[in-house]
Amino acid sequence: MTLRSRRSCLAVPGSNPRFLEKAKGLDADQVFLDLEDAVAPLSKPGARQNVVAALTEGGWGDKIRVVRINDWTTQWTYRDVIEVVEGAGPELDCLMLPKVQTADQVVALDLLLTQVELATGLKRGRIGIEAQIENALGLINVDAIATASPRVETIIFGPADFMASINMKSLVVGEQPPGHDVGDAYHYILMRILMAARAHDLQAIDGPYLQIRDGDGFRRVAGRSAALGLDGKWVLHPDQVAIANEVYSPRQEDYEHAENILDAYAHFTSEAGGAKGSVMLGDQMIDEASRKMALVVAAKGRAAGMERGDRWSPPGD
């Protein structure tokens, strides 16, 4: 299983060359250069040029490079795609499509991308699509959106637009709406997105937390979606990067334990280990389902570059 880590997805306004330059040096797994809501309408044409320049100049290390274009209900989408992909296609990993409501909006982007790829000699189908779910209709259609194109890599929760779309009584993105004193108001949405992502082998990404000075608040909110199994979260400020990288990585002891489960299970199910189906590892009984859980944690740890400490070895070794 190969997983490209997307623990921290850094939002950078395309209209701000200083932020674009600074983003190169931050330790985020992914950057997305924004042409949508962080850019004023009058600045959009200039932002396209900034984004193309920032991508072609390079210096992004091994970050996943994404550009968020405008959604299909606007006048900007087609030009965003054409200018960015013609100008910087080889330096681009994915386009992020915001406010996706129906599968055909993903199909439309796939078709346009294919045309630009063919016209410019780019490898057909290499540039991926990240689909942002930001309203009720998008959530209802999330399975069809997830499978609308083989280019789709991630499903992203857009909490701010979503809160507006469902008339949630709150202005604080990511925090519980006042008066909601049981459970988590976002649980259903996050779980629905996660189910669609897992059913179709995509990554599920949590959206922004706008109280950028509140590191504890960011950790708390990120911790909830990480606990469910989401793969990462948007970060809006350099201080949020390290927290996201930590919260969406397995804990060191869980990573080591997962690798040990895999080694022990491989040994005990083999001829030399007695071809057993379930065995004890320390105080814990492990079986095939334990192996599957361990595979997930180990894959996330490996993708995050974690290292093992003491290794399990077969009895008698």
Minimum CB separation from Mg ion for residue 98, in Å? 6
- 226-285 residues in contact with ligand GLV (CB under 6 A) are none
Among 89, 128, 138, 158, binds Mg ion (CB under 5 A): 158
Choose the contact partner of 159 out of Mg ion, ligand GLV, none; CB within 5 to 8 A by kind.
Answer: ligand GLV
Measured from the CB atom, the residue of 67 and 264 that comes closer to ligand GLV is: 67
Query: Is residue 93 close enough to count as binding Mg ion by CB under 5 A?
Result: no
Measured from the CB atom, the residue of 116 and 168 that comes closer to ligand GLV is: 168
Among 89, 159, 232, 301, binds ligand GLV (CB under 6 A): 159
Query: Is residue 161 close enough to count as binding Mg ion by CB under 5 A?
Result: yes
Minimum CB separation from ligand GLV for residue 6, in Å? 16
Which residue, among 280, 213, 261, has the nearest Cα to 240 in the 3D structure?
A: 213
Distance, in Å, from the CA atom of 314 to the CA atom of 24, rounded to the nearest integer, reads 45
- 88-147 residues in contact with ligand GLV (CB under 6 A) are 98, 134
Distance, in Å, from the CA atom of 292 to the CA atom of 297, rounded to the nearest integer, reads 9
Q: Are 135 and 101 in contact (CB under 8 A)?
A: yes
Minimum CB separation from ligand GLV for residue 149, in Å? 21
Measured from the CB atom, the residue of 110 and 134 that comes closer to ligand GLV is: 134
Measured from the CB atom, the residue of 161 and 259 that comes closer to ligand GLV is: 161
**3-state SS, residue 107:** helix
Alpha helices in the chain (DSSP H): 17-23, 44-57, 77-88, 103-120, 136-140, 142-146, 159-165, 187-199, 215-228, 238-247, 252-269, 288-303
Q: Which span sits near ligand GLV by CB under 6 A: 100-108, 159-167, 239-247, 258-266? A: 159-167
End-to-end CA distance of the chain: 29
Among 14, 128, 138, 207, binds ligand GLV (CB under 6 A): 207
Among 13, 158, 232, 301, binds ligand GLV (CB under 6 A): 158
Phi, psi torsion values for 293, nearest 5 degrees: -65, -40
Distance, in Å, from the CA atom of 57 to the CA atom of 76, rounded to the nearest integer, reads 24
Between CA 310 and CA 252, with CA 4 as vertex, the angle to 5 degrees is: 25
Minimum CB separation from Mg ion for residue 263, in Å? 44
Query: Is residue 161 close enough to count as binding ligand GLV by CB under 6 A?
Result: yes
Measured from the CB atom, the residue of 244 and 306 that comes closer to ligand GLV is: 244
Q: Are 235 and 10 in contact (CB under 8 A)?
A: yes
b/e sequence 70-88, b meaning 16+ C-beta within 10 Å:
bbbeeebbeebbbbbbebb
Relative to beta strand 8-13, strand 284-286 is unpaired
Q: Which span sits near ligand GLV by CB under 6 A: 23-31, 106-114, 155-163, 286-294? A: 155-163
Can you give the binding site for Mg ion, defined by CB under 5 A?
134, 158, 161
Can you give the binding site for ligand GLV, defined by CB under 6 A?
98, 134, 158-161, 207-208
